[in-house]
Amino acid sequence: MRIERTELADVLVLTPQPFRDDRGLFTRTFDAGEFDAFLGRPGAAAAFVQDSQSRTVGGVVRGMHGRSGRGEAKLVRCAHGAVHDVLVDIRPDSPTFGKQQAFLLDDNDFRHLYVPPGFLHGFQALTPVADVCYRIDRPHNPAEDLGVAHDDPDLAIAWPRPVTLVSDRDAVAASWRSLLTHLAPRS
């Protein structure tokens, strides 16, 4: 597995090295030992306690979602199809605060992202069907949900295709400016 840093502080791209032959392929999608060694934190991979999967049809955008409080770390990969995956750093003390980066995740290269706590995350399905898998380091608490509209003009996310559908929740998500107020330290 190849592990690389990205333009966003603390975000990693993990790329498995599949074995391909006439039968198809075999790949290890995650290796806890390599992950822990790269981070220099033995046992870091053991923190993941929940696996989830979404199935999304082409053109749909899911996001932009985040968590308040301690946030959550996650590994994200596309097991079937392809997605345009977007992260936005919402950690006020981060050197990349407010910056965004997009990644292609697909079932060809098997790349996946390590997303530390403190990021908004969303994606658009680029294929007729896309299955996205998440490995998350703590149980979901709906009271900590954060959201910013996928089409917020201040974020100006460049979705590669026309957006065909978003959830009711995402359709009424807050603005980037509203989130900044929420993130501002209380005095």
Q: Which helix (H) or strand (E) holds 176?
A: helix 176-183
Residues 53 and 43: their CA atoms lie apart, in Å, by 24
Q: Determine if residue 74 is left, alpha or beta; phi over 0 gives left, psi from -120 to 50 gives alpha, anything else beta.
A: beta
The first and second tokens of residue 103, run together, are: 């990644």
Tally Cβ neighbours within 10 Å of residue 67.
23
Q: Which of 84, 114, 121, 134 is catalytic?
A: 134
The first and second tokens of residue 152, run together, are: 């917020």
Residue pair 76/121 in contact by the 8 Å Cβ criterion: yes
Residue 134's nearest CA partner among 67, 6, 48, 61 is: 48
114 in catalytic set: no
- The full length of the chain comes to 187
Residues 104 and 117: their CA atoms lie apart, in Å, by 21
Residues 91 and 183: their CA atoms lie apart, in Å, by 8
140 in catalytic set: no
**Residues assigned a catalytic role:** 65, 134
